[in-house]
Amino acid sequence: MAGKDGADRVYVFGYSPAAVGMMENRSAEGNARFFLDHLKPGMSVLDMGCGPGSITVGIAAAVAPGEVVGIDIEPSQIMLGRDRAASLGLQNCRFETGSVYDLPFGDRTVDAVFGHTILMQFRDLDPVLGEIKRVLKPGGLIGFREIDIGASLFHSETSAIRDVMTILRRSILHNDGNPDIGRALPRLLADAGFNIRSAAAAYNCATTPEAKAGMYEMMAQLWKQSEFVARAESDGWISPSARRAMTDRLEQEAGDPGSFSGTTYAEVVAYSPATA
């Protein structure tokens, strides 16, 4: 369980090559399109929990010459983000190690704040949303894309993907997070004083045989390498034999034309009050 400052919080995926690869596959166009549509050149943007910066750099391109800052509590991810920005020649994008409980910005200095699957990690959002409100300018923009595992689609009851996501959901709960936060996100933000501009549901779904094969391979590698799976076995949620068998189940399911899954996300855009 995490302390009030989040210092002992554990990221359920960890930072294995598979986990980092999953995050690197994200992009602003694919995972933040709903947010990009509200941005304008010259805006300053904070990307909370930026990971390796694959979304951050796309936001930076959208608001240039405005500055985008990605923060993450994990130094290795900040180094990846810096390397990514440098390789693209971006002059308006920087990365800093930092905590969502203590954002490295002055009061009312940021035009917009973005986050992708970051709020799900906190059962008590008050300190996090309080920091966002502190750094955001009056009338500032926020955009969050958050998972809702409980509202996702899996066929059938014996789905291997369903079983993987069930273990992930339990791990997030055990880590004092909220794996079904998506459905509650508009209410949570409205109760915190934000004005909702738009709220929508979206699915991550592999739509072609090629995409499906890639998705199942990624899930198999995550299953082998991720922290939440190791925790599940050590805590007795799954047996060693069930853990070993899962990769074979995923491989078989990948070749089944009738298998289907879609992971649900909520995408919410809101504004802080114009006066504070």
CB 265 within 8 A of CB 119: no
**pLDDT tens digits for 9-50?**
568 888 999 999 999 999 999 999 999 999 999 999 999 999
Do the domain assignments include residue 212? yes
Q: 232: which residues sit within 8 A by CB, 6+ positions away?
A: 167, 170, 171, 238, 243
Establish if 11 belongs to a structural domain: no
Residue 182: which of 115, 108, 243, 247 has the closest Cα? 115
**Helix residue ranges, H only, the chain:** 17-24, 28-31, 33-36, 56-63, 75-88, 126-135, 160-174, 185-191, 209-225, 227-234, 240-254
38 assigned to some structural domain: yes
The answer to whether residue 4 sits within a structural domain is no
User: Is residue 179 situated within a structural domain?
Assistant: yes
Left (φ > 0), alpha (ψ -120 to 50) or beta: where does 117 sit? left
Domain of residue 91 covers: 17-271
- Overall average pLDDT of the 159-179 stretch: 96
5 assigned to some structural domain: no
Percent of the chain at pLDDT exceeding 90: 92
Summarised one tens digit per residue, pLDDT across range 121-163 is: 999 999 999 999 999 999 999 999 999 999 999 998 899 999 9
At which residue do the structure tokens 């990690």 appear?
121
- Residue 6: inside a domain: no
What sign has the CA pseudo-torsion 93, 132, 177, 6?
Answer: positive
